[in-house]
Amino acid sequence: MAGGFLHQPTPSGSTEELLGHEFFEELLSRSFFQRALNHESFFVMHDLMNDLATSIASEFFVRVDNEKEKNIKEMLEKYRHMSFVRENYVPNKKFEAFTRAKSLRTFLAMSVGVLDEWDRFYLSNKVLVNLFREFPLLRVICLSNFEISEVPDTIDTLRHLRYIKLSRTRITHLLENVYNLYNLETLILCGCNKLNKLPNSILKLKKLEHLDIRDTQSLDQMPLGVGELKSLQTLSKIFIGDESRFNIARLKEFKNLC
């Protein structure tokens, strides 16, 4: 959905999410994906299918760790999607060449295997600043599990951003300029234990559909007027009572809440 692949008109009463689920189930029935043996909610791709998909899409996507430097430099301007496997420390030098990839839509930090509680991953702040400044067409960003303490203010340049995942980072707050992300549909902050505040400007994100704030122990209130987010389908936590200034009866304002 965030990538813009669900342009097909949806039937009355349906949503883009339901349409996306239908597409996924269709691909699953054709063995494009297969259920993982060790976890019923996980899916994998057969090696042969992965090789085929990689071959067909190679002009538009890159896995940084598996690509030769020469091939990367030759095709930078065409790349739309980039992923890389997290390392204990990701230096700025790793992404210096990608400043020419102005058409990037997707930037994903991936993991291999199950993460342990003591795993720590560090990302140069300069990488973040450059990421938000150099790739204005980004629609999808996943930076979960990094030891990130703040989100650079250059994030407000990402006017096309639909989806951002910052779960299990060390951020304490989001900047007020988040309101510039007026196309944002999904904001995932679960496991951000140090997050203690959501900006009032978040109320201007009228297209926000999913706000995941599970396991945010330091967060104990919501912005006043959170009921203005009429498009919300997912709101994983709400604070009721005098201190939060939110009455339980106001839940009726979330007409689309699932």
Q: What is the per-residue pLDDT across 202-241, written as a single tens digit (0 to 9) for each? A: 999 999 999 999 999 999 888 878 888 889 999 998 888 7
Predicted confidence at residue 114, as pLDDT, reads 66
DSSP string, 91-109: -GGGGGGGGG-TT--EEEE
Distances in Å between the Cα of 99 and the Cα atoms of 72, 125, 136 are 12, 16, 11
Residue 76: pLDDT band (50, 70, 90) is: confident
124-161 confidence digits (pLDDT tens): 888 888 888 888 999 999 999 999 988 888 888 899 99
Measured in whole angstroms, how far is the alpha carbon of residue 116 from the centre of its chain? 21
18-35 confidence digits (pLDDT tens): 888 899 999 999 999 998
Backbone φ/ψ region at 195: left (φ over 0), alpha (ψ -120 to 50), beta: beta
Measured in whole angstroms, how far is the alpha carbon of residue 120 from the centre of its chain? 20
Q: Which residue has the higher pLDDT, 43 or 250?
A: 43
pTM: 0.87
- C-alpha R_g of the chain: 19
Predicted confidence at residue 11, as pLDDT, reads 65
Domains of the chain: 17-56 (no CATH), 57-253 (3.80.10.10)
Predicted confidence at residue 39, as pLDDT, reads 78
Residue 26 contacts by C-beta under 8 Å, 6 or more apart in sequence?
none
Predicted confidence at residue 254, as pLDDT, reads 85
Among the residue ranges 81-85, 90-94, 101-105, 192-196, the one predicted with the least confidence is 90-94
pLDDT over 90 (residue 99): no
In whole angstroms, what is the distance from residue 146 CA to residue 1 CA? 25
Strand 61-63 with 89-90, pairing: unpaired
In whole angstroms, what is the distance from residue 7 CA to residue 232 CA? 20
Task: Using the Cα atoms of residue 218, residue 220, residue 226 and residue 230 in order, give the sign of their dihedral.
Answer: positive
Output the average pLDDT for the chain.
Answer: 84
